[in-house]
Structure 1
Amino acid sequence: MYQLLQFLIRQRGFFLFIVLELISIGAVFTYNNYQHAFYFNTSNSFAANLLSQVEKIKTYHNLLEVNEVLSQENARLQNELFQLRNKQNAPSELPYFASQAVLRQYQLSAAKIIVQSTHASQNYLTIDKGFRDGIRPGMAVISSTGIVGKVISCTENLSLVISVLNTINSVSGKIKKNGELGFVKWSGWQPEVVDFMDVSKYKKVSKGDTIVTSDYNSVFPRDIPIGVVAKLGIKDDGNFHDIKVLLFTKFNTLQYVYVVKNTLISQQQKLEEAIPKSE
């Protein structure tokens, strides 16, 4: 303390100069209109920029919360959409009323992507839901715009999803306007484009046709959007269409997905296992 006091006494001239300089600068900006206006505008501009940056940071963090809320809301709306689809009656000559179990066959759970790849030949995603959240291997995974993949393994809090962008994965699909069947498979090149295969060249296909999941899909509910026909040709063998489909799901910017739980899957599997095997 004594040494600090001695230092201040030795440097009293310098500190007096600083104090007088600050007083002089304050007087200049206070009693001169031009300098006062310059100081006022500059300080306001600095404060405005600072507040703007702070607000951007707050908005960014709020967006994370908003996205989570929207994903939950979208999951609820998708559940209602599945129920409305199941309520659609058969032709008028054969009235059909779905049971409550069928109406509620599919239930969606929102999840956030933690890690994903899009440029390998075999791509996967990791999501932040697992056994504790009711997720099980075999469940379909979709986005708000289309198909994503299938859950292949789970831990308590995480799940691994095999992506549609995987050369060993395929999805049964159909042309929405006429129901012509085929299957979607990724060739391993562009993460936006897949092939729609095994469609005879005699079947009517047009550029711009929408491709959706088929009624015979073992993983996805029917009529989930897949993509749109972007390019059309004939395979080298001359028997099948060469169809390139532009995916609706944009994997490069995908953040949230929806895991689809089929509440009747165990009953369906039990019935299928009881089918007599041909000798």
Structure 2
Amino acid sequence: MFGKLLKQEFKSVGKWYLGLYGLSIVFAIILGFWVSHMSQATDSDSFIAIMLTILTFTSFGAIIAALGLSTLVLIIRRFKDNIYGRQGYLTMTLPATTHQILLSKLTAAIIWYFLSILTVGLSIFIIVLINIGWTDLLTGLKEIWVNADFQMIFKEVFVGNLTPYIISFLIGTVGNVLMLYCAIALGHLAESHRVLLSFVAFFVIYAILSTMAMLVLNRTGITEHYYWFTSAFNIVFCLITYFATHYMIKYKLNIQ
């Protein structure tokens, strides 16, 4: 049942996301060719050329901002509407456990979040690639491969801060989504002003989390293993918010 729920999550908003991803890449291609043209044009300092460049960069920035904002909005709306809106009556009558419903939404949210990051990275890569070309790119990569100190890289990745940072970032992302879910669930315990109370709950949870993290860091003086500490701290936070959200959905559900 979990697979069917996850498939439905992607089917419901997939066209919107894919359209936005495609638009971002199209703008990246246009911007890449425009930057390449302007770097070779003799009239690149003209007023029209400057305005067109600004307009293109602004449009690309707006698409990237819309990508991030729409991802956040859809994560919130999918959870709120499917569980606490009118769709909740159907959702909660499905032959699925509360864990399956919650985990399907969490999994889909995390996947869309990282696909958005990947799209931004791909868009920037396209702009760079168009301007430097495959030949120069491959030549640069070859030089890096030949001159790279792999022993130092291995030490930095697996012994240094890169791996702990990546793990901390991944767990923190899950924690952020669960914090949104928990705040929405808390806000919908009330009979009115649910959206406002959900915002208040989110900032209260965030303030408590930040305060606790700073207190622990100040008392322990952890610096060398900071990212491992944040990973462990976020795991505990994820478990608390997950089971708190699960409890409120299963036992305190208050559908509009």
Same fold (TM over 0.5): no
Considering Cα pairs closer than 8 Å and 6+ residues apart, tell me whether 1 or 2 has the greater RCO: 2
- TM-score, length basis structure 2: 0.29
- TM-score, length basis structure 1: 0.28
Please tell me whether Structure 1 or Structure 2 has the larger radius of gyration of its CA atoms. 1
- Higher normalized helix content (fraction of residues): 2
- Higher normalized strand content (fraction of residues): 1
